[in-house]
Structure 1
Amino acid sequence: MTPKKTPDPREDDAMGMLDDAASVATAGIGILGGTAQVSVAMPQEHEDDLADEAVIDGEVDEAVIADIVFEDAAPAATAAPVPAAVEVIVERETEPELVPAPVVAPVPAPVKEAVPVETPKKNVAPRAVPPEVTLTSKRLGELSGANRESADLLTTDRLLDPHRLTKPEPEGSWSHLLYSISGRRINIGDGRRARERKALSARIAAPLPGGARFVPVLSRKGGVGKTAITALLGMALADARDDRVIAIDANPDRGTLADRIVRPQHTKSVRDLARIHDQVADYHDISAVVARDATRLDVLASDADPRIAEAFSDVDYRDVADLAAHYYSLVLTDTGTGIVHSVMAATLDLADRIVIVSGLSVDEARLASETLTWLETNGFEERAHDAIVVLNHSTPGTPLVRVNELEAHFASRVRNVVQMPYDAQIAAGGAIVFANLQPETRLAARRLAALLIEGLRTEASA
């Protein structure tokens, strides 16, 4: 049995010394040697007391400690030092008991403005203010950078996955035979000749960046096949390319370029186009003047009327060339005999590449070589070095001259030399059907076209 605990009379003194105070604001504290009067100002409740109250975390504000006034303290009395932190607990009672002590009027504590407590900030580096950037749009021509690509680089070989493409029907006798007897299950691809032909077509069809390119065909002697070479070159280009190709007969006299096209009923000429050059609004107006063959080559014929006394002039050619530059990518010009007639000045001024035709005789070869010399000494040295010389076999059989010697001579002066074999269809002087030519003739014409395109592309990239 647990003994009953005797109540301690001190437990009833909830306020200790402050329990007998006359008022809540005033309390008497007995100290040896005298009596000290303590004036305590109770803080008033405000809305922002939570932020600025005097007692924070159990510590008494220095303003409260400063208000403690010791009265009638004996000089000999040495009071215990006031602790830095005094925890004051006040319990309000309805009827507090009074102790016999002199009543002193409470001295109101001076009201001090609450000073906001500033929270110390950490040492944070100032944030860098980004500079203002002005966004401006730029045109495509203003963009810089060595890694820029043109649209012609977006080819099917680069973009399409070959493993996901269905192979086309192979070309070549052996490849096609194996493909047929296997029920179209074995496709070993094209034969060697088919691959070479397609590779040559790809070289011809390579895109040309920029505007129209002008290519005159020159010869200082008639009868070497200059007009036929112009027609063959134009057909090879138009047959492989997707853009437009035109051949202009700029012979000041009567030219025969239109006679090489299967359109004998065509009566419009280059002079008709020069006459309406101010009224041309679109390609439809030009298509009504030009003749077109099976390869899609457009041909602009010369005047066939012998009653025309005024020859095709330099001004007429420039007007026609200005129109052709808007609607064609390649403009071939069949010039007249010689290089000093009226149209030749404008022809050479606009030329991007030059093709020179030479026959397989001593005098024809000399005239072709002298043409290069004239170009070099009259301000067209670069065009002469980049020219292509065509050695045309206009007669059947083996020529009397050594063709390999001629080829070596012109190879030392120009970029490329091409031999055009003899073809009976061309020698007949009538209309040329490109598909009916001998395979060797078509191959030579396509090689000439490929060399021309590669030279133009090299010039564009330089």
Structure 2
Amino acid sequence: MTSKNNPDAHEDDSLGVLDEAASLDTTALGVLGQTAQVSVSLPNSEDDDDFVDDSVVDGEIPSDLTSIVIELPADQVDEQIDEKTQDEDDTEIDDPSVAAAADEVVVGVIDVAPEEEPVDTVDPVDSVDEVDADDADEVVDEPAIVEPTIAEQAVAAPAVAAPAPAPQTLTSKRFGEQMGQASRETADLLTSDRLLNPSQLSKPEPEGTWSHLLYALSGRRINIGDGKRARERKELTARIAGQLSGGARFVPVLSRKGGVGKTTITALLGMALADARDDRVIAVDANPDRGTLADRIVRTNDKSVRDLVRIRDEVKGYHDVSAIVARDSTRLDVLASDSDPRIAEAFSDADYRDVAGVAAHYYSLVLTDTGTGIVHSVMGATLDLADQIVIVSGLSVDEARLASETLTWLETNGYEAQARGAIIVLNQSTPGSPLVRLNELEAHFRTRAKNVIRMPYDTQIAGGGAIVFANLQPETRQAARELAALLVEGMRAKAA
């Protein structure tokens, strides 16, 4: 309230009880009984962000709220009252009830206009100047204003407090409902490369001449990792050991001409697969003309494919099959053909399907060493079950031509997809340089098949005895592993 004698006092005086509310317009200040009442009009501008103040109202202001009760400490109210009374010329507070009320909490009431009905604000200077000291005493003595008391209003109207928020019910959701089915991860994504910290893992002993020498001379403190050849060998092993989803995969090895190394390629491919993979691999000799696949490994029994056909209904587990097959040092299982050519002809299409059905239960990869008769009944069942085809060609003109004609026969007899995805092996079974141009021969087959591999000459293979995979020449072993890697990658690409 400004003084008539000091018109400039309004600009220097503090706002009294509502010192913090700079955005409020005070219209009247009066001392009523034991309380101090302040009527304040709030600005109706929608752009005024000061309306929401956590120090005044905790929470949102309801739309139907018309007044706000503010409780202030008594010492602050006493100071504000003293300052206001000093500025008044003729107004003094002599009522002892007011002094007694200063020791208690003073309640101020602020009238808040609803948003729907803007309140016309009154200039506080003009309204206050029109009230003199005598009128202020008459206002204080008016009993209608103090009925009921402020304390009774505070007790009788608890609705002015901010309503408590409604409790929310928390319900658990499945991971798929929160993130969406497209964001779900499967268990195979939790790999060691993703989860393990490389800085906290100790490197294995390096492989390679110079890497291992430096590691040994430094007392195992300097580990520069594997050498180039060791890294290449491990990468190739990882390609061969790639996971194959689904059931067993059947891979026949074909040739239209005998003596080109079809049985040898079957043995080398099976050894390379079994040596690098964790699952089981079997090579079945389905040659009706006394096959020699079992002669390429160290045999541990004299059982044959005929024995498996005989007990096919009695097989209860892998131990029944292992009693018939022969196992190589690389863990390759070989099922030999009948040694007597007089009964080998009885091995028919139905017999091969029975053997394939048993093998599919206990092996992930089934290689088949077929005969040279491409129109034989066993060949039909072999091609029907084939997931990938390997065709072997010798390094001569007639052998290469027969291999190319094999692709033509497949394309014209319903196996066009298998012919396009086939792997051609150019096998050198004789020493010395071949008479044909290998580059021209390889270029021809690349136009008809997916991959072409060269298998070099090896004296251990040329001898005709059992093949020990670890004793092969490095070039031969590398070529066999490359063939196995291409085979696995081709089947993985079809499954994707």
TM-score by length of 1: 0.68
Residue among 233, 238, 249 paired with 1:202: 238
- Tell me which amino acid in the other structure corresponds to 2:233: R
Whether 2:273 is the aligned partner of 1:273: answer: no
Higher helix fraction (1 or 2): 2
Residue among 193, 207, 212 paired with 1:171: 207
Residue among 207, 221, 226 paired with 1:185: 221
Whether 2:343 is the aligned partner of 1:308: answer: yes
Residue among 253, 258, 261 paired with 2:297: 261
Which residue in 1 is equivalent to 2:355?
Answer: 320
Work out the percentage of aligned pairs sharing the same amino acid: 75
Helix, strand or coil for the counterpart of 1:443?
A: helix
Residue among 208, 228, 231 paired with 2:264: 228
CA 1:398–1:208: 2 relative to 1, 3 Å = same
Residue among 395, 402, 411 paired with 1:376: 411
Q: CA RMSD in A?
A: 3.1
Q: Judge conservation of contact 2:274–2:332 (CA < 8 Å) in 1.
A: yes
Return the offset for 1:150: 6.3
CA 1:121–1:371: 2 relative to 1, 3 Å = farther
Structure 2: stretches of 5+ with no match in the other structure: 1-143, 149-155
Which residue in 1 is equivalent to 2:395?
Answer: 360
Q: Judge conservation of contact 2:337–2:344 (CA < 8 Å) in 1.
A: no
Helix, strand or coil for the counterpart of 2:489?
A: helix
Whether 2:278 is the aligned partner of 1:242: answer: yes
Return the offset for 1:86: 11
- Tell me which amino acid in the other structure corresponds to 1:396: P
Q: Judge conservation of contact 1:354–1:387 (CA < 8 Å) in 2.
A: yes
- Tell me which amino acid in the other structure corresponds to 2:308: L
Q: Judge conservation of contact 1:249–1:301 (CA < 8 Å) in 2.
A: yes
Return the offset for 1:182: 1.4
Which residue in 2 is equivalent to 1:332?
Answer: 367
Looking at structure 2, the residues matched to 86 and 295 of structure 1 have their Cα atoms a distance apart, in angstroms, of 105
Looking at structure 2, the residues matched to 208 and 176 of structure 1 have their Cα atoms a distance apart, in angstroms, of 34
Return the offset for 1:149: 3.9
- Tell me which amino acid in the other structure corresponds to 1:321: A
Return the offset for 1:179: 1.3
Structure 1: stretches of 5+ with no match in the other structure: 1-82, 88-116, 138-142
- Tell me which amino acid in the other structure corresponds to 1:199: E
Question: How many aligned positions are there?
Answer: 345
Looking at structure 2, the residues matched to 155 and 433 of structure 1 have their Cα atoms a distance apart, in angstroms, of 35
Q: Judge conservation of contact 1:253–1:311 (CA < 8 Å) in 2.
A: no
Looking at structure 1, the residues matched to 344 and 261 of structure 2 have their Cα atoms a distance apart, in angstroms, of 26
Helix, strand or coil for the counterpart of 2:343?
A: coil
CA 1:371–1:407: 2 relative to 1, 3 Å = same
Return the offset for 1:159: 3.4
CA 1:174–1:344: 2 relative to 1, 3 Å = same
Looking at structure 1, the residues matched to 221 and 267 of structure 2 have their Cα atoms a distance apart, in angstroms, of 42
Residue among 419, 423, 428 paired with 1:388: 423
- Tell me which amino acid in the other structure corresponds to 2:436: V
The higher radius of gyration belongs to 1
Helix, strand or coil for the counterpart of 2:279?
A: coil
- Tell me which amino acid in the other structure corresponds to 2:374: I
- Tell me which amino acid in the other structure corresponds to 1:235: M
Which residue in 2 is equivalent to 1:48?
Answer: none
Helix, strand or coil for the counterpart of 2:452?
A: strand
Bigger drift between 303-312 and 188-197 goes to 303-312
Which residue in 2 is equivalent to 1:412?
Answer: 447
Return the offset for 1:148: 4.7
Deviations 1:343-371 (CA, angstroms, capped at 9, x unpaired) = 11111111111000000011111111111
Helix, strand or coil for the counterpart of 2:409?
A: helix
Return the offset for 1:271: 1.2
Q: Judge conservation of contact 1:253–1:312 (CA < 8 Å) in 2.
A: no
Looking at structure 2, the residues matched to 379 and 417 of structure 1 have their Cα atoms a distance apart, in angstroms, of 22
Which residue in 2 is equivalent to 1:46?
Answer: none
- Tell me which amino acid in the other structure corresponds to 2:337: S
Deviations 1:317-344 (CA, angstroms, capped at 9, x unpaired) = 1111111111111111111113111111
Helix, strand or coil for the counterpart of 2:221?
A: coil
Q: Judge conservation of contact 1:206–1:453 (CA < 8 Å) in 2.
A: yes
Helix, strand or coil for the counterpart of 1:343?
A: helix
Which residue in 2 is equivalent to 1:345?
Answer: 380
Looking at structure 2, the residues matched to 271 and 350 of structure 1 have their Cα atoms a distance apart, in angstroms, of 20
CA 1:410–1:241: 2 relative to 1, 3 Å = same
